[in-house]
Amino acid sequence: MKENMEIIAKACEILACLFLGAIGVIVLWKIFIDKMDLEYLISEDNGHASMAKFQLLIFTFVIAISLVRLVEANNEFPEIKSGVLTLLGISASTYAVGKGIQKSGEGTEPVAPNTPKTPPGGNTPVVKPKENKPIEG
């Protein structure tokens, strides 16, 4: 009976890996054919880069990858120390406070160049008009 459970567990593990791998391939393919845009992954609404978003993204990936590696090495879910959770919480709250400060001063910061974002309450992206100069000849 125990041998059958090990076979089922291994099959589930392989299926989960194949499923996650397939999702990864689909995401990469959509990025490659420009169906998925990651341009705003770490930028704010005005197009400027956000260090708080970047920090939260990196901390989350580092902790998640470390946790997966520990589970893989020890074959059990490890105890997560309170210091790790505290650092992740500080990172998330830094992002939340930054977002609150940004929203409270809405409209005071200029839009970054080459940003096709829609202005708040508007239907069209912010685009600078081209200057039309007559051709002299």
For the stretch 48-73, pLDDT in tens is 778 888 888 888 888 888 888 888 88
Tokens linked to 29: 């393919």
For the stretch 60-106, pLDDT in tens is 888 888 888 888 888 888 898 999 999 889 988 988 888 888 777 76
Crossing angle of helices 51-74 and 82-104, in 10° steps, is 160
pLDDT at 119 (0 to 100): 47
- State the pTM of this model: 0.55
Other CB atoms within a 10 A radius of the CB of residue 50 amount to 20
User: What's the CA angle centered on 58, arms 90 and 18, to 5 degrees?
Assistant: 125
